[in-house]
Amino acid sequence: MKQPSEIFFADEKTAKRFHQLKEGTHEEKFLYNLISKKIDELSQDAIAGKQIKKACIPKHYRLFDNLWKIDLNDRWRLIYAILTDDQGRISLIIDWLDHKEYEKLLNYHVK
């Protein structure tokens, strides 16, 4: 069952970083479009991604105990949290990173 959500950025810095991609290099514009498509997808279904195991959540993300990731493509990952309030679900966009950064951040062993 789909779980619609409102989309917000974790903070102003993250929102600004996202919007700057639109005016950046060709690769940054491409990344902006990937993120935009996933934001649309998350607005329709907050649980479209995969939940990150609590034991794998890095220290600087521990403010969020309900952390999720969704693949933007085979190279990029979007990190978000799912929150709820009186109005319903909220998908909070926290970060995006390339696959290698993502694996390093979550202490996955890359060979």
Query: In CATH, what number is assigned to the domain containing residue 88?
Result: 3.30.2310.20
Q: Are 99 and 75 in contact (CB under 8 A)?
A: yes
**Predicted local confidence at residue 85, as pLDDT:** 81
Cα(27)–Cα(22) distance, integer angstroms: 10
Residue 55 within a domain: yes
Q: Establish if 39 belongs to a structural domain.
A: yes
Q: What pLDDT score was predicted for residue 88?
A: 84
The closest alpha carbon to 42, from 20, 69, 19, belongs to: 69
Q: Which residues contact 107 (CB under 8 A, 6 or more apart)?
A: 56, 58
Q: Which domain holds residue 101?
A: 6-105
Spatial neighbors of 74 by CB under 8 A, at least 6 apart, are 99
% of the chain beyond a pLDDT of 90: 70
Residue 1 falls inside a structural domain: no
